[in-house]
Structure formats: C-alpha cells, structure tokens
A and B are shown apart, each in its own frame.
Chain A
C-alpha cells in the first residue's frame, strides 16, 4: 500500500459527460501529480501541484482541469469526454523536494462509451 488513495477505482460514462477523479496523497506529502496511461501512448504527464499551487503542466487538454485543495487532496476534472479519453488515470504524491521519489495510487480506470 503506497498510502495514495484514488477514487473511484472504475468509472464508466458516456461521451460528452463530465467526471471528477479524486486523489488523497500520502500523509505529509505536499505535491500531487496526475498521469494518463493508455495502451498506445504509455504514461503521459498531465499536471503537478505543490501545496495548492500549480507547479508543472504537461500534455493536459483544455477539456481537463485539476486543482489541489487546502487539505492537499486533489481532483482531476474531465469534461466533454470522448472515446479517446478512455484510459487509466494515476495520481502520485511526493514530498515535493527536488529529486524526491513519487508514490502512486492504484489508478482510476475510465471507460467512455
């Protein structure tokens, strides 16, 4: 158990809909990362937060947004969903220090039908 909790584990929704994925980081970790993993594109970095502020942005679509709340949990919002958004979405957390390792949650499997 990494200490990172993601909910829900599975999500099935229709095209055009909006969903929210939730992540609780390990106790004491200030930084949260979001990744998308699909079969054909590997692990894609979406966005990183540190203590509530956006720290780094990757290949995150405009239809996607995220935030980190004062209690340090984070949410990833995906809207106007398309079939191609079907993937595993992982959250990871770290202390946020330069060079530190990240610990991953079990992921949310999103299926868009």
Chain B
C-alpha cells in the first residue's frame, strides 16, 4: 500500500540556518503530495502541496518539489525563524491520505 517515510527528528537549528526535511514515498498510482505543519497545541495546517511530477509547492518561505524519479518531496527553507518551531508531516493522497511519522523542528534564537 501507499506509505510515506520522513527523516526522524528531532532537529534543532539556530535562527537563519537552512532546513531540509527528507521525505520519500511509495505509491501505486500518481498521488498528490503535501506538507503539513503542527504548531504546539494546535491542529495540523496545510503548508504546501504538489499535485504532479516536477510541481513545486511553496508557502511562507518553504518549498518542496515533487520528484517522481526519486519518489521524494523534501521540504526546504533557506533561513528559519524561531516561529518555525513545529512538527512537520509529509503526506500523500492517492486513494487514501497517508502521513509520515512527523519531524519535530526546534529553532533557537
């Protein structure tokens, strides 16, 4: 079945550092791919999405490119802020919505 694997955390960074969270997927069809973010005490929010190969999703300085050849959808941000501290989930939706285990990111001032 479909599945998502994302890099384990926790990840701790200093402000203005670069962030990359790796995500790879397994799917039988052609899924849409998503990154969700969960801030402390809140529900999951859609951060960005890509619906087909080579699409780039972007939002709030975060980017991810749908790479069919490597079945990957890595999340990147060039300069993180303390407010980016959260748990990040990679997800796919083909016929079912599947989530990765989540990566906890802490940004220190």
Please list the residues of chain A having a beta carbon within 8 angstroms of any beta carbon in chain B: 2, 4, 33, 35, 42-43, 45, 48, 56, 90, 92, 94, 98-107
Contacts and interface: CB of A to CB of B under 8 A. Distances in A.
A106 B41 CA distance: 8
Interface of B: 30-32, 34, 36, 42-46, 49, 51, 89, 93-99, 101-102
A34 B32 CA distance: 20
Contacts of A48: 96-97
B49 A101 contact: yes
B99 A45 contact: yes
Contact of A98 (B49, B95, B101): B95
Given A99-B32, A99-B51, A99-B94, A2 B99 contact: no
Contacts of B99: 35, 42-43, 45
Contacts, number: 55
B43 A2 contact: yes
Given A104-B44, A106-B43, A56 B96 contact: yes
B60 to A, nearest CB: 16
16 contacts: A43-B44, A43-B89, A43-B101, A43-B102, A45-B97, A56-B95, A56-B96, A98-B93, A98-B95, A99-B32, A100-B32, A100-B93, A101-B32, A101-B34, A105-B43, A106-B42
Nearest to A103: B46
A42 B102 CA distance: 7
Given A42-B102, A99-B31, A104 B97 contact: no
